[in-house]
Amino acid sequence: MKAEKVRNLTDDELRHQERELADQLFKLKFQLNMGQTESLKKMRGLRKDIARVKTIARERGTAAGATEKK
């Protein structure tokens, strides 16, 4: 998922996307521990996508806080 695509999401969509990605990561970790999958690339990609979503959500939060202080 590209950062541009994430930036176009609303705040609610961001929270939903983060939960969905975290759920996918949990399922992949569970499968890895059970020996059913070896998709480390997919796990790495999911972690990066989660980081992107959290970063953009944080940027929006700090931008909103900065405008309130002025």
**Domain span at 23:** 3-63
Q: Is 57 exposed, middle or buried (0-12, 13-18, 19+ CB in 10 A)?
A: middle
Mean pLDDT of 64-69: 76
In this prediction, residue 43 carries a pLDDT of 93
70 occurs within a structural domain: no
Instruction: Report pLDDT digits (tens) over 10-55.
Output: 999 999 999 999 999 999 999 999 988 778 899 999 999 999 999 9
Amino acid at 61: G
Residue with tokens 């609610």: 12
- What CATH number should be reported for the domain holding residue 42? 1.10.287.310
- Tell me the whole-structure pTM to 2 decimals: 0.84
In this prediction, residue 38 carries a pLDDT of 79
The total domain count for the chain is 1
In this prediction, residue 64 carries a pLDDT of 81
In this prediction, residue 18 carries a pLDDT of 96
